[in-house]
Structure 1
Amino acid sequence: MDSLAFQIKSAALAVGYEKCGIIKIADMAGYEDKLNERMEYLPQTKPFYERFRGFAHLQDTYSWAKSVVVCVEQYGKYQMPDHLQGLVGKAYLFDSRIDEHTAGYQASLQFEAAMQKMGLKTEAKRKFGITAVRWAAVKAGLGIVRRNNFFYTESGSWVHLEAWLIDQELELIDTPTVKACSEHCNRCVKACPTASLAKPYTMNPLSCISFLTTFGGRDLPQETYNAQMGGWIYGCDACQDVCPMNKNRWEATGEFPFLAEISEHISLEKILSMDYELLQQILTAKFFYITKDDVWKWKVNVINAMVNEYQEKYKEAIYAACNNSHAKVRKMAEWAVKKLNLS
């Protein structure tokens, strides 16, 4: 093992990462073949996936880069507020990418500083990632991608991945110990509410609930899958929750910073009645896929969830939303009144 590579891994483990590997930057080239394969099978996804082609050609932007360092952070160790199960995806609840109060965020800063102290030039994009992290993690032998498209280690799929470019050509490849999916297991495909997971290892991001509740779903009354979205208002865990390889993998031993305080404000009724300024203050800083300009989308997602899992107590809140200050929310509420035959 290269001594510098060993130092990098040791530094990663010392700050709390579960795993660390290093691949040569040339190993990212194969990612483009996977992109082309996906776009060929699902042509409608081409505009979505074309944005990621640069991940296979990192040196076009970072000519100095020679290797990719990829680390695994386990988040399946925190206490999950019961009332958020089936409402908000776990990966977003325990997201440390931009939250400086979290151990994951601080570990990222400390690890990057450690690599720079070793004399390495580094580059990362903490918020959205500098390259295709699942591909890099698989090439580094840190785990495998299962039939639901998620990356797994011994901790299951409840992990975050982070990558850095460095200016030294190094390699540190591990051997995954997790067993492959059974070819006879189809639970994740069957569990996908919108059939976004069209077949094992293949999904259509444009119909994924996580996409529809964040970047997509801009006209939910006309959305083909609005009923299949169920009670989710941000993200979805359906294909991960049913996976046998995730059974007993959640440890729930720690508290994620400020999640308990934030979760008190997250319910369908509270979000729909909350004024926009407070909604921005409480939710946008953490759940950044819905920006401040699009904060109305929280209320639209909530109304859709109320329709799908209707209770009599939602009636007055839906009626009130018909007079909301935002046209998108009013339109959604009026659709809900008609859909539920409340008038």
Structure 2
Amino acid sequence: MTFTRKIRARAPLRLGLAGGGTDLSPYCDDFGGAVLNATIDRYAFASFLPRDDDRVVFEADDIGVSEAFEPNAPLHAELVLHRGVYERMIRDYNGGRRIGMTIKTTVDAPAGSGLGSSSALVVALVNGMRSVLGAPLGDYDIAHLAYEIERIDLGLSGGRQDQYAAAFGGINYIEFLQNDRVIVNPLRVSDAICNELESSLVVCFSGRSRSSAAIIDQQTAGMKTANHDTMAAMHKLKADAAEMKRALLVGDIDAMAEILNASWKAKKATAQGVSTGALDQLFDIAMANGALAGKVSGAGGGGFMFFLVHPENRHRLIQSLDQAGGQASPAKLTHRGCETWRY
């Protein structure tokens, strides 16, 4: 099989508004998890370029890595996400027969950002390969396959919400149930409420990426041993997701802020290292300059924080975070999931 036109894919990154961590096993297997998240205007991009020499080339422009493999040579790639998706899709949907191509990617946030960037990249890679191979995959299939490639094939620690957020896009209340059953509930939020939420959001890169694996492994260990503090915090995070959904649907930003602060407190109780001195300092500066609430995005330890603020105070908040060494900006909500196109 060959393909002759460039195929491109993009998948949105996300903010975890509430419930993050309850999508981890064994918690979601035993109790059911629930997450509220929203995709934003930052993306993982993948381009699939035909070749006539049968080589397989992986390139990640944003981190400056390029690897080329001769036909039938083992794919011992440093770019493990590229390799994992390519090998799984070729195995499952092309009978194991390689196709020469260049797969070139970039992501609008660094690895370890807490915005689900790695999983968004995997979703973009899966969806692009789906288009190359003509594989009959819907959004649920793409998200589940991306989850399997990351967590099972490659053995990377993490949960499930990022893959579904990237595949579906928009504002979603996502339930994670036994036997790998996932229900994505898109929320019908009015334009006025979306505008108010969007105008109330500030995202801030802490200046330090982090590996989430150690924090996630610690959370998972606490769940497996039924550690009281870990379990109580996880139950609180799940309840907060439902409360946050209700507050969002009626546009009560002040109530959302109250829930967000409670969730940040509960999240810090799930594992050591969720917060750091630098994150605490940014949080304190934000709260002193108009923020209503804030929390780290993702597992914690670094990456991005996000804050809720009344729109009339947003500029002052951004300035104060920038002066403190953060990299703050507004965020625009997006309402479309992963897309592919030919060019």
TM-score, normalization: structure 2? 0.25
Structure showing greater radius of gyration is: 1
Bigger relative CO (Cα 8 Å, ≥ 6 apart):
2
TM-score, normalization: structure 1? 0.25
> Which one has a larger percent strand, Structure 1 or Structure 2?
2
